[in-house]
Structure 1
Amino acid sequence: MADENTFSELALPLFEGETTGHSCPRPQTKTPSYLKDHRKRLRERFVQGGANAMPDYELLELVLFRAIPRQDVKPLAHRLMKTFGSFNATLSASTTRLSQVAGVGDAVICELKIVEAAAHRLARSRIMQRPVLSSWETLLDYCQTAMAHRETEQFRVLFLDTKNTLIADEEQAQGTVNHVPVYPREVVKRALELNASALILVHNHPSGDPTPSQADLDMTAQIQRACGVLSITLHDHLVIGKSQALSFRSKGLLA
């Protein structure tokens, strides 16, 4: 006996515009009217008031509408919020952890990661090729957006030219929940390749507490010594927590 897929293929016309005598159209699932009304109200409220007019779970609903077009996504939005704690943390969650939430499939993961990528790209565009020392708050916003909700440590280097304009933003290493391997030699080597005159180091603490560890202090001192030999300025080392960032420079931790 032919399976369902075989029957579906047999029912298709052989050429564009051709019909078959035995095809039977599959019933189309319609979106219930109450869902249409709910979605319409949410979209109108977002257009009129923006994101500030909506709690996190409703903002998630708006994102989920595209991935799940004919189902009530409010329960899934609440599950995601309960699992990850916030809209930002949900977007930043790994695909592995997202897939473990009931109701989350490839389409949902794709939509969430598109929004995350758009947020990162927008934040990054505000600092690239611009003097970062005079736009410090914008730089901190970018680092928070890109790194605050990551589940593992990431080490980035921001490379600046002689005018302190950001010429490159590169991820140097990824680590575990409480450690990331950093090689001062590679950091300085890359600075020379880019003809950078100054650096800003950035890494995150998934625990949320930006207090630097002794390993952070030692690694920073090593990079600063290596930079000094080559007349490269180390402006700062930022440690990104969940809701705040710590600056080595402002805390007097850079010589």
Structure 2
Amino acid sequence: MSASKSQLSSLGEEFAGACELMLAARALVDTARHQKISSARVDPYDGELHLYLQSRIGNSRRERMLVIFCDRDGQYLLDQEMGWGTSTNIQLDVASLFRKALTVDADGILLAHNHPSGHCTPSQDDIDATRKLAGAAKVLGLYILDHLIVTRRQCYSIRSSSLL
């Protein structure tokens, strides 16, 4: 179920119908997951949120950052992909991140990025960047809920490890 469209199409023409059905089923599940998390409080420990993040960025071969914005009560406002990179690092436009947060009147920000290597352990760069973002957010009256590192099978919370 986690195979990419190109991986599925490499199975050959005889499986094209089954591959299209699998892609359609996956899109339906992803839509249902998004609807579920968008109608709830943003909770970095929520298993449904983890599944949503894994489906959005967990399978990518390049690092990607998804940012979830929430209001003062922790209610979901919006999520947006805001960082892209290589297999080992990510580029994030910090000004755009905070501009978006202020534009949607967010109070809280949940950061999530994937590790294509499959290892959930944060690098020292991940920890340092998260701390810098948290400091900048505080100056703007915003709060970083957590920074989750996502792989195909796991999510790692930087906050719960007392690294934030």
Letter in 1 for 2:121: T
* Corresponding residue of 1:203: 113
Which one is further off, 193-202 or 96-105? 96-105
Q: Secondary structure at the match of 1:127?
A: helix
Identity %: 27
Mind listing any 5+ residue stretches in structure 2 that lack a counterpart?
none
Match of 1:246 in 2: 156
Please give the secondary structure, in 1, of the residue aligned with 2:90.
coil
- Cα 1:228–1:185 change in 2 (3 A) is same
Per the alignment, residue 70 of structure 2 pairs with: 160
Letter in 2 for 1:139: L
Instruction: Tell me the C-alpha RMSD between the 2 structures.
Output: 2.2
The answer to which structure has the higher helix fraction is: 1
Describe the SS at the equivalent of 1:124: helix
Q: CA deviation at 1:236?
A: 0.1
Contact kept, 8 Å, 1:123 with 1:145, in 2: the verdict is: no
1:119 to 29, 42, 56: 29
What CA deviation, in whole Å up to 9, does each residue of 1:84-136 have, x standing for no partner? xxx3x22xx1x344444444787565433322221211111111032123972
Q: How many angstroms apart in 2 are the aligned matches of 1:141 and 1:129? A: 15
Larger Rg: 1
Give the AA of the match of 2:120: P
Taking the aligned partners of 2:67 and 2:38, their CA distance within structure 1 comes to 13
Relative to structure 1, is the Cα distance of residues 212 and 104 closer, same or farther in structure 2, using a 3 angstrom cutoff? farther
| 1:194 equivalenced with 2:98 (yes/no) | no
Highest RCO, 1 vs 2 (Cα 8 Å, sep ≥ 6): 2
Structure 1-normalised TM-score? 0.58
TM-score normalised by structure 2 residue count = 0.87
Matched, 1:218 2:125: no
Q: Give the distance between the partners of 1:222 and 1:97, measured in 2 at CA.
A: 38
Cα deviation 1:161-215 (Å, max 9, x = unaligned):
0100011011113322222211222111110011000100001112111111222
User: Would you say the 8 A contact 2:84–2:92 is kept in 1?
Assistant: no
Q: What does residue 132 of structure 1 align with?
A: 42
Asked if the contact 1:237/1:248 (under 8 Å) is kept, the reply is yes
Query: Is 1:144 the counterpart of 2:54 in the alignment?
Result: yes
1:178 aligns with 2:88: yes
Instruction: Provide closer, same or farther for how the CA distance between residues 117 and 174 of structure 1 changes in structure 2, counting only shifts above 3 A.
Output: farther
Q: Which runs of 5+ in 1 are unaligned?
A: 1-86
